[in-house]
A = this chain, B = another copy of it.
Amino acid sequence: SKTKEIVVLPGDGIGPEVTKEAVNILQTVCERHGYKLKTRTFPIGGASIDRYGRPLTDETLKACKESPAILLGAVGGVKWNDQPKDKRPEAALLGLRKELDLFANLRPIKTYDSLIHASPLKEEIITDVDIMIVRELTGGIYFGRPRYIEKTETGERAVDTKAYTTEEIDRIAHIAFETATLRDRRVTSVDKANVLDSSRLWRQTVKESAKQWPEVSLDHMLVDNGAMQLVRNPGQFDVIVTGNMFGDILSDEASMITGSLGMLPSASLGEEYAMYEPIHGSAPDIAGQHIANPLATIASVAMMCRHSLDMPDAAREIELAIKTTLEDGFRTADIYSDPANEYEVSTSEMGSAVVKHL
């Protein structure tokens, strides 16, 4: 078909500002490649709570299930922090992941040469860092049952359950190995097998899966060591595969390597559906000021072109455009530092600059 259809969930805070630019870019590459882009937009998170009393409505979920690809901005904000847990903006995110079975979260961590100076890490440590974090996204302690808070004689007691099955581990390992074949063919599996039963099953299952990928090398790292190695020498990693909670922590830690959270995209993939979003949050403090960095969302659209829209050339074009836009000195406030060689631009100016560089 000559039409590409996606669902857009702008969400809260800077979400609407950054998705607007990303959709523009997608529009442009679709036209270039002879496609018509059709978007349907729905509120999610806080925006949905304000309008419908719920962070994720049935209508939104239904639309998502009719679409091969979803672009999400960001959800959350102080305003909704005191809601009960199933009425908080994050519940929409967790709900979508589970309902659409988006079990594989890909978070590429790549440094841009022109931003290297912005990293808290020394230049020689981070030059050429190119890591793909593959995080399991629908299992582990995020979704395990039972989970509750109960009264005791003297106070309360809270319980969460971390559970993983062979199948869940095997399918995420599969994604990691497959991803590695297109890269440097090295997978590091991160767990806490010296303490957790779930990690012992994790390690054993990943080892077993590895046999199907003899061309990929596998090693295992304990999560505490992994957190250390990501700071000590991130260049050692190619693909990292890990569970939901460890992946949440390590990917945010790793994002700092690049110097700005505002640059990093993500893809959440399942068998049938896929969702793309920047890894940054809704940044309510700067919402509406037109200074948010749209590049992470624009890079997420590139991932969408690659993984969902069957437009791998468009993906590369967008990624190259981001690179050259940065090289030409365009900077939103979060990455602006050198008045002599850089121009500080607004969210939409950055979006336009990328369009021009396409």
Q: Show the binding face of A for B, using Cβ within 8 Å.
A: 76, 85, 88, 90, 94, 120-122, 125, 141-142, 144, 147-149, 152, 154-167, 170, 192, 194-198, 200-202, 205, 223-225, 227-228, 230-233, 245-246, 248-253, 255-257, 261
Assembly CA distance A88 to B195 (angstroms): 10
Complex Cα spacing A195 to B85, Å? 8
Question: Is the CB–CB distance between B200 and A85 below 8 Å?
Answer: yes
With both chains docked as a complex, state the minimum distance between the C-beta of A244 and any C-beta of chain B, in angstroms.
9
Q: Which of B147, B152, B195, B228 contacts A197 (CB 8 A)?
A: B147
Total copies of the chain: 2
Overall SS of chain A's interface: helix
Chain B minimum-CB-distance residue to A123: B122
Indicate if the CB atoms of B233 and A249 lie closer than 8 Å.
no
**18 further A-B pairs in the complex, CB-CB below 8 A; given A120-B233, A230-B253:** A120-B232, A142-B195, A147-B196, A148-B197, A149-B197, A155-B165, A156-B166, A157-B166, A158-B197, A159-B198, A160-B163, A160-B196, A161-B162, A224-B252, A227-B250, A228-B253, A228-B255, A253-B253
In the assembled complex, the CB of A138 is this many whole angstroms from the nearest CB of chain B, namely: 13
B232 & A249 in contact (Cβ 8 Å cutoff): no
- Report whether B165 and A200 are in contact in the complex, using a CB–CB cutoff of 8 Å: no
Contact assessment for A152 and B125 in the assembled complex, using a CB-CB cutoff below 8 Å: no
Determine the chain B residues whose CB is within 8 A of the CB of A121 once the complex forms. 120-122, 231
Contact yes or no, A227 B227, CB < 8 A? yes
Instruction: List, in ascending order, chain B residues with CB within 8 A of A225's CB.
Output: 252
The distance from the CB of A216 to the nearest CB of chain B, in whole angstroms, is 22
**Bound form: Cα–Cα A157–B168 in Å:** 9
B125 x A154 contact (CB < 8 A): no
Q: How far is the CA of A200 from the CA of B148 in the complex (A)?
A: 10
Chain B residue numbers with a CB within 8 Å of A227 are 227, 249-250, 252-253
Q: Hey, which chain B residues are within 8 Å of A251, CB to CB? A: 224
Give A94's nearest chain B residue, CB to CB: B195
Taking a contact as CB atoms under 8 Å apart, the answer to whether B158 and A164 are in contact is yes
A164 contact set on B, CB distance < 8 A? 157-158
Q: List 28 A-B contacts (CB under 8 A).
A: A90-B194, A90-B195, A94-B195, A120-B232, A121-B231, A141-B141, A142-B195, A144-B159, A154-B167, A157-B164, A158-B164, A158-B165, A158-B200, A159-B161, A159-B162, A159-B163, A159-B198, A160-B163, A192-B248, A224-B248, A224-B253, A225-B252, A227-B227, A227-B250, A228-B252, A231-B253, A232-B256, A246-B249
A194–B155 CB distance below 8 A: no
- Which B residues lie within 8 Å of A246 (CB)? 249
A167 in contact with B195 given A121-B231, A227-B250, A233-B120 (CB within 8 Å): no
The listed residue (B141, B202, B205) touching A162 by CB distance below 8 A is: B141
Q: With a CB–CB cut-off of 8 A, which chain B residues contact A253?
A: 224, 227-228, 230-231, 253
Residues of chain B lying within 8 A (CB to CB) of residue A261? 228
